[in-house]
Structure 1
Amino acid sequence: MGVAAVAFLLGFGLMLLVMLPNLWALLAGVVVGGAAAAGTYGTLAGREQSRRRLSAQLDADQERLRAELAGIDQTVRSRSAQLPPSTKGQLRMMVVGLEDIVDRWDALSRYPEHLDAVNRTIHRHLPRTLELFLALPDSEKPRHAVEFKTQVGLLAEGVAKTRDTLVSKNLQALQTNRWLIEESMTDPDEKLFRDHGL
């Protein structure tokens, strides 16, 4: 083999060494890529676990509130003779409204101030109001009926506001959905002409 051939082979070998990836660079790429993939998987898995925990918490809250409402409803029905006649219907309608709100608990979770208010109403305010009035001697109840009726009215007003908020948000979501459907079904060229009055 001539000197020129040996020089060519050495040059070609050096060129191949330069062109071939460095083993350490390959190893570093695999490690960094693997770490990035693991981080992404961890983030996604963490979000899913968080979503499941939140969903389980909402379900547990919903069941607890349903049980408390059933107890309140039972008290209103069984002790109805001791309640002022003007409040009986209002109390029953309030329980029905609260049941409707609890059925939409997932939607309400986006409004923490309403969520807390409903929790307090079912867990503390409504049972306490009933308990205090029913604990009065029957002879004293007519004298304090106006105060009881005022408290029930305040609670009913709060329940109505929360329910109205939920319904209006559901209507807004429904309207937004209609706009999205209309947008996706409309030919873009036709929309462009219509938007420009042509």
Structure 2
Amino acid sequence: MSDDRLTSRDWVNAGLKALAKTGFTALKADTLSKELGVSRGSFYWHFADVGAFHATVLLRWREVAYENVIREIHGTAESRLEALLDRAFRAETRLERAVRSWATADPRARAMVEAVDGRRLVYIEKLLVEAGVAPAIAPTRARLLYWAYLGFILSSARLDEAERRRLLDELARAAMSKSSRRTPA
């Protein structure tokens, strides 16, 4: 690939691929320029330094991991919640795991993960309330759904289609239940 044809978006996309494949230690000008077959000068033409590149990679991850997902989900609150769950439990998880791993070592990555987590929770809670779940219980249900997702992406479990469908149906049923009865101790 020629230096003059690479855009900052090409570098960021290469960064996301390297991040998902190898982890955050691959997000270096030398490593990526070799991967792309170009000089380091191309990198520094687009980014002041590696820190600026990292910030741009994190912004692109937020776009991919949250903003694009929300834009692509339509319908009633219930159907959007079901579509969100379906997408979350069907998606490739390497990038999500890699960004979360990066967040354990880098304050900027940690701040971005926390921001995306917060936005995702607010969105799930909003869907639940719109679907008829009491506003008082919606934050708890949103958190439970989100924790189920996080547990899934961090596990090595892979589900066949029938298992995945049963899991999603049960998660949606539990989340949308109008009752929050407690059993006596």
Shorter-normalised TM range: under 0.3
Q: Which has the larger radius of gyration?
A: 1
TM-score (norm. length: structure 1):
0.22
TM-score, length of structure 2 as denominator length = 0.23
Q: Which structure: greater helix fraction?
A: 1
